[in-house]
Structure 1
Amino acid sequence: MPTKESKPNLSHSQVTEIIKRVYGLTMSIIRPLPSFDDQNFYVAPSDGGEYVVKIMNSADSHNITVIEVQNHAMTFLHQRGFPVQTALPTLTGQLMSLEEFDCGFGTQKYLVRLLTYLPGTTIAKITCSPQILYDVGKMAARLDTVLLQMEHPNITALQRENFIWNLTSIPLLNQYIHVMDGDPVQKVVKAIIEQYQIQIMPKLPLFRKCINHGDFNDHNLLVKPYGPSKYKITGILDFADMSYGYFIFELAITIRYMMIENPNPVDVGGPVVAGWESVFPLNEVERDSLYLLVLCRFCQSLVLAWHAVIQQPENEEYLMSTTRRGVHHICRLWELGKEEVERIWFQSAAQISPP
Structure 2
Amino acid sequence: MPGRFSVALPVVSRERIEETLAARWGLRGTFVPLNGERDLNFRVLVRGQPEGRSRVFKICNASEDASMLECQEQVLARMAALDGLEFPRVVPTVDGESRATIRTDDGGLHLCRLTSWVDGRLFSGVNPRGATLHRSLGQCIARVDQALQDFRHPALERRMPWDLCRAVEVLEAYRLPDTDPGREDLIAGFTTLYRDRVLTVSDTLRRGAIHNDANDNNILIGLPAGTNERVCGLIDFGDILYGWLVSDVAIACAYAMLDNDNPLDIAADIVAGYHEQHPLLPEEVGVVFPLACIRLCLSVCIAFHHQIVEPENSYLGIGTMSSWRMLEILSEVPPDYPTQLFRDRCGLRI
TM-score between the two structures when normalised by the length of structure 2:
0.90
1:291-320 per-position Cα deviation (integer Å, ceiling 9, x unaligned): 1111110111111111111111122x4322
Q: Cα 1:180–1:25, aligned 2, differ >3 Å: closer, same or farther? A: farther
1:313-348 per-position Cα deviation (integer Å, ceiling 9, x unaligned): 122x43222110000111111111212333444444
Are 2:332 and 1:335 equivalent residues in the alignment?
yes
Instruction: Work out the CA distance in 2 between the residues paired with 1:167 and 1:252.
Output: 10
Instruction: Work out the CA distance in 2 between the residues paired with 1:189 and 1:288.
Output: 20
Are 2:85 and 1:85 equivalent residues in the alignment?
no
**1:261 CA drift (Å):** 4.2
Find the counterpart in structure 1 of residue 136 from structure 2: 135
Instruction: Work out the CA distance in 2 between the residues paired with 1:294 and 1:18.
Output: 41
**Unmatched 5+ residue regions in structure 1?**
none
- Counterpart amino acid of 2:95? T
- Counterpart amino acid of 1:324? M
Match of 2:55 among 51, 57, 70: 51
Q: Cα 1:17–1:294, aligned 2, differ >3 Å: closer, same or farther? A: same
Find the counterpart in structure 1 of residue 6 from structure 2: 3
Instruction: Work out the CA distance in 1 between the residues paired with 2:17 and 2:44.
Output: 10
Instruction: Work out the CA distance in 2 between the residues paired with 1:77 and 1:181.
Output: 45
Question: 3-state DSSP class of the match of 1:87?
Answer: coil
**Contact 1:52 1:114 survives alignment (8 Å):** yes
- Counterpart amino acid of 1:321? I
Q: Cα 1:194–1:73, aligned 2, differ >3 Å: closer, same or farther? A: same
Find the counterpart in structure 2 of residue 114 from structure 1: 114
Instruction: Work out the CA distance in 2 between the residues paired with 1:195 and 1:232.
Output: 33
* Moved >6 Å (runs of 4+): none
Q: Cα 1:13–1:256, aligned 2, differ >3 Å: closer, same or farther? A: same
- Counterpart amino acid of 1:202? T
**1:14 CA drift (Å):** 2.5
Find the counterpart in structure 2 of residue 209 from structure 1: 207
1:86-111 per-position Cα deviation (integer Å, ceiling 9, x unaligned): 11111221111122213xxx432321
Q: Cα 1:263–1:319, aligned 2, differ >3 Å: closer, same or farther? A: farther
Question: Which has the larger displacement, 92-101 or 195-204?
Answer: 195-204
Q: Cα 1:3–1:69, aligned 2, differ >3 Å: closer, same or farther? A: closer
Q: Cα 1:164–1:180, aligned 2, differ >3 Å: closer, same or farther? A: farther
1:15-43 per-position Cα deviation (integer Å, ceiling 9, x unaligned): 2222112111111x211111111111111
**1:227 CA drift (Å):** 10
Question: 3-state DSSP class of the match of 1:110?
Answer: strand
Question: Which has the larger displacement, 12-21 or 64-73?
Answer: 12-21
**Contact 2:11 2:104 survives alignment (8 Å):** no
**Contact 2:126 2:228 survives alignment (8 Å):** no
Count of residue pairs brought into register by the alignment: 339
Are 2:104 and 1:94 equivalent residues in the alignment?
no
Are 2:317 and 1:320 equivalent residues in the alignment?
yes
**1:167 CA drift (Å):** 0.5
Find the counterpart in structure 2 of residue 163 from structure 1: 160
Percent identity of paired positions between Structure 1 and Structure 2:
24
**Contact 1:180 1:303 survives alignment (8 Å):** no
**Contact 1:225 1:232 survives alignment (8 Å):** no
Q: Which residues of 2 match residues 210-249 of structure 1 at below 5 A? A: 210-225=208-223, 230-249=228-247
Instruction: Work out the CA distance in 2 between the residues paired with 1:189 and 1:343.
Output: 24
**Unmatched 5+ residue regions in structure 2?**
none
Question: 3-state DSSP class of the match of 1:76?
Answer: helix
Q: Cα 1:261–1:90, aligned 2, differ >3 Å: closer, same or farther? A: farther
- Counterpart amino acid of 1:118? V
Instruction: Work out the CA distance in 1 between the residues paired with 2:11 and 2:89.
Output: 24
Question: 3-state DSSP class of the match of 1:314?
Answer: coil
Q: Which residues of 2 match residues 291-310 of structure 1 at below 5 A? A: 291-310=289-308
Instruction: Work out the CA distance in 2 between the residues paired with 1:70 and 1:279.
Output: 24
Question: 3-state DSSP class of the match of 1:53?
Answer: strand
**1:147 CA drift (Å):** 0.9
**Contact 2:205 2:246 survives alignment (8 Å):** yes
Question: Which has the larger displacement, 260-269 or 133-142?
Answer: 260-269
**1:45 CA drift (Å):** 1.8
Instruction: Work out the CA distance in 2 between the residues paired with 1:224 and 1:218.
Output: 14
**Contact 2:211 2:248 survives alignment (8 Å):** yes
TM-score between the two structures when normalised by the length of structure 1:
0.89
